[in-house]
Chain A
Amino acid sequence: MADILGAEVDEEGFLVDLKDWTKEIAVEMAKGDDIDLSEEHWDVINFLRDYFEEYQIAPAVRVLTKAIGKQFGKEKGNSKYLYSLFPYGPGKQGCRFAGLPKPTGCI
């Protein structure tokens, strides 16, 4: 199995053990996708981690967009904005950087 900074990741690049997550790992994962993590990225990543801590799952896209809109301004509360930060999808790419498991299902 592959690893990122010593932390084991699965074939899709998600952390195997969520406890391994560090900010450095997120930065490294993003680099692999040619993304420099900006403050805006961190706003989303931190929200994802907080939500996961409370509910043990990633938020629904609508919950995420609404929350980001509320906290950081209405113009940011839409999926187009989130896709501009995470081109592979805020759900999948965002969750990966945040050390969350990959959302599964018909999504």
Chain B
Amino acid sequence: MAKEFDIPKLPTYLEIPEINEGAMEGKGPFKSSKEFQTPLGFPGEKVDNWQEVAINKMGELKSKYRSVQVFLDACVKCGACTDKCHYFLGSSDPKNMPVARQDLFRSVYRRHFTFAGKYFPKLVGAKELDDEMLDDWYNYFHQCSQCRRCSVFCPYGIDTAEISMAAREVLDAVGVGQKYCNQILGKAITIGNNLGLPEPALRDTLLDLEEEIEEETGVAVKYPLDVKGAEILLITPSADFFAEPHIDGLIGYGKVFHQDGVSWTMSSYAAEGANFGMFIGSYDIMRKAALRIRKAALDLEVSRVMVGECGHAWRVAYSFWNTLTGVGAGASATDEFAQKLQNQLDSRYPQPQHIIEYTHDLIQRGKLDFDKSANDDRTVTFHDSCNVARATNMGGIPNGQFILPREVIKAVCNNFVDMERGTIMESTFCCGGGGGLLTDDLMEIRIKGAMPRMQALKEVEKSDAVDTLVAICAICKSQFSKVLPKFDFDPYMIVSAHQLVSEAIIMDKPQTDDSQAEVAKEAETEKVD
């Protein structure tokens, strides 16, 4: 079983911990086997000439992604990032300081790709890529959730996540992949979702949900699947079908669509918003997963593509879909399918659109009615998910990605409090489970990395009796369900934004025979008059 470790105590103020060298030394998460490596095009095990392959791959990456080379060259070791990482703050291992973690990669880059490093390696901290270094890469680059908080504070704007992605790409190229991500990616690109949920199971799960909502509310809210000609294609993380509390968010989306009266559908071929291709740094695999969504949108002839509550899905959709697949703008003139999709999508709407943008817009236009008192038993705070906060926008207004979710929450709930300013919005602390770390074999770093977020939550629990934590990311929701009880919180306090919407929304009841009779009677009376 997992090794024993101490759960960090929550301090009143976050302080820079005294460093504890080697605190998070180890073998890293479970390695991917041949079974999961081969379908992704990676070697099944560590290749014999792995050093050569790795250095060649680094060379390829630095030319392909100019940003990677700039980030590797630009760091001046100023130290601004050192205390910004939740994993360092929670684990006190100095290799979890963003600069030190990046330097595992940078020192090898220096040795092989810079003049000084080739001839005077010791002077410039250049190091050889040996077995020990590769093990360190595997271990510590899987203690980075690619949340990019450190990047916010870097005076040079170095994006540490890109270094982590590059390192993981090199690791995959030499046959040292991570089981969690690669097993999931295999399912995503063959079955169409991370869970490996086949169409009949998905259909049955959705029918079950329809039944449940109708029983509870008396309203026939539908969860359409593979409906050709629907207006909206919803792409949501498959956790929304499967896990708690996610599914209550899905219930919320359905109610909002129902009230708007719009036609919508999900796709069994592309039943996944999450795209772990980003986590492992592989553009090709990220594209494969994204192309399933393009195919679904073309086949179903939808005019809008919408994304559910998933953090990195929204980053991939907002930042990368246009070049990956041609949603929105930016398709190459020679890409017939991307061009076709762009012509098919309705340019009067943002493409893609986030479900929060959609609900927010309906609220603004007075299309939804709420009974806010339905959430009066809660005092709510909002956790900004890293990918939404630092890589995307909503609503096309500056800081919209912070404003819109809060506006939606405040529209459905009377008691809202923000956590300390330095721990939210662009400075938000990661939940501790992002970037491909949401696996049981990384539980120690997940719990330690959650400490800074838990500390800020504890403060608003004390000051404002906050008892509900809202997130709009499937990973955050799952991670919090697991780590909250370790810090003496109720694991059920984490909910979807659309769960609050679901609880407060006033649904139009279908007209009963009585009310129809009344209408008819009134009409008759009018005639007589």
In the complex with contacts A66-B208, A105-B239, A106-B239, A56-B274 CB distance below 8 A: no
B194→A106 contact, CB < 8 A: yes
Residues in B neighbouring A57, C-beta threshold 8 A? 195-198, 201
Smallest beta-carbon distance A81→chain B, Å: 13
The CA-CA distance from A103 to B193 in the complex, in Å, is 12
Which range contains the number of B residues in contact with the other chain?
35 or more
B438→A106 contact, CB < 8 A: yes
- Of B242-250, B407-415, B458-466, the stretch lying at the interface with chain A is B242-250
A56→B440 contact, CB < 8 A: no
B194→A104 contact, CB < 8 A: yes
B474→A79 contact, CB < 8 A: no
Q: Across the two chains, which residue of chain A brings its CB closest to B193? A: A105
Q: A106 touches which one: B183, B274, B440 (CB < 8 A)?
A: B274
Smallest beta-carbon distance A84→chain B, Å: 13
Among B204, B238, B243, B246: residue with most chain A CB under 10 A: B243
- Interface flag for B510 (CB, 8 Å): no
Residues in A neighbouring B209, C-beta threshold 8 A? 62
The CA-CA distance from A60 to B271 in the complex, in Å, is 15
Is chain B's interface secondary structure helix, strand, loop, or mixed overall? helix
Residues in B neighbouring A107, C-beta threshold 8 A? 195, 239, 242-243, 246, 474, 478
Q: A61 touches which one: B187, B194, B247 (CB < 8 A)?
A: B247
In the complex with contacts A12-B440, A66-B212, A107-B478, A60-B184 CB distance below 8 A: no
B244→A61 contact, CB < 8 A: yes
- Interface flag for B396 (CB, 8 Å): no
- Interface flag for B65 (CB, 8 Å): no
In the complex with contacts A12-B441, A56-B201, A106-B310, A62-B239 CB distance below 8 A: no
B201→A104 contact, CB < 8 A: no
A39-63: contact bitstring with B at CB < 8 Å (1 yes, 0 no)? 0000000000000000111011111
Residues in A neighbouring B180, C-beta threshold 8 A? 104
Residues in B neighbouring A105, C-beta threshold 8 A? 184, 193-195, 237-239, 242-243, 274
The CA-CA distance from A57 to B197 in the complex, in Å, is 7
B208→A62 contact, CB < 8 A: yes
The CA-CA distance from A74 to B480 in the complex, in Å, is 27
Number of interface residues of A (CB under 8 A): 19
A77-95: contact bitstring with B at CB < 8 Å (1 yes, 0 no)? 0010000000000011000
Q: A60 touches which one: B183, B194, B247, B274 (CB < 8 A)?
A: B247
Residues in B neighbouring A66, C-beta threshold 8 A? 208, 212
- Interface flag for A24 (CB, 8 Å): no
Residues in B neighbouring A91, C-beta threshold 8 A? 243
Residues in A neighbouring B441, C-beta threshold 8 A? 11-12
A60→B205 contact, CB < 8 A: yes
A106→B478 contact, CB < 8 A: yes
Residues in A neighbouring B274, C-beta threshold 8 A? 105-106
Residues in B neighbouring A56, C-beta threshold 8 A? 198, 201
Q: Across the two chains, which residue of chain B brings its CB closest to A105? A: B194
Among B209, B244, B477: residue with most chain A CB under 10 A: B244
Residues in B neighbouring A92, C-beta threshold 8 A? 440
The CA-CA distance from A103 to B474 in the complex, in Å, is 15
B208→A63 contact, CB < 8 A: yes
Smallest beta-carbon distance B8→chain A, Å: 22
Among A56, A91, A92: residue with most chain B CB under 10 A: A56
Among A59, A60, A79: residue with most chain B CB under 10 A: A60
Among B180, B197, B242: residue with most chain A CB under 10 A: B242
Smallest beta-carbon distance A43→chain B, Å: 19
The CA-CA distance from A104 to B187 in the complex, in Å, is 9
A60→B243 contact, CB < 8 A: yes
Residues in A neighbouring B187, C-beta threshold 8 A? 104
B372-388: contact bitstring with A at CB < 8 Å (1 yes, 0 no)? 00000000000000000
The CA-CA distance from A30 to B132 in the complex, in Å, is 37
Residues in A neighbouring B398, C-beta threshold 8 A? none
Smallest beta-carbon distance B26→chain A, Å: 14
- Interface flag for B200 (CB, 8 Å): yes
Smallest beta-carbon distance A102→chain B, Å: 9
A104→B196 contact, CB < 8 A: yes
A4-19: contact bitstring with B at CB < 8 Å (1 yes, 0 no)? 0000000110000000
A62→B478 contact, CB < 8 A: no
Residues in A neighbouring B200, C-beta threshold 8 A? 55
Smallest beta-carbon distance A92→chain B, Å: 7
B 399-426 contacts with A by CB, 8 A: none
- Interface flag for B475 (CB, 8 Å): yes
The CA-CA distance from A63 to B209 in the complex, in Å, is 8
Q: B201 touches which one: A11, A12, A55, A106 (CB < 8 A)?
A: A55
Residues in B neighbouring A61, C-beta threshold 8 A? 242-244, 247
Residues in B neighbouring A63, C-beta threshold 8 A? 204-205, 208
- Interface flag for B349 (CB, 8 Å): no
The CA-CA distance from A55 to B200 in the complex, in Å, is 7
The CA-CA distance from A15 to B448 in the complex, in Å, is 30
Residues in B neighbouring A12, C-beta threshold 8 A? 30, 440-441
The CA-CA distance from A18 to B100 in the complex, in Å, is 43
A-B contact sample (8 more), CB < 8 A, given A56-B198, A56-B201, A59-B201: A11-B30, A63-B204, A104-B194, A106-B239, A106-B243, A107-B239, A107-B246, A107-B474
**A: which residues have CB within 8 A of B?**
11-12, 55-57, 59-63, 66, 79, 91-92, 103-107
What would be 20 A-B contacts, judged by CB atoms less than 8 Å apart? A11-B30, A11-B441, A55-B201, A57-B196, A60-B208, A60-B243, A60-B247, A61-B242, A61-B243, A62-B209, A63-B204, A92-B440, A103-B195, A104-B187, A104-B194, A104-B196, A105-B238, A106-B478, A107-B246, A107-B478
Q: Which 8 A-B pairs have the closest CB atoms?
A: A105-B194, A106-B474, A55-B201, A107-B243, A106-B239, A60-B242, A105-B195, A106-B475
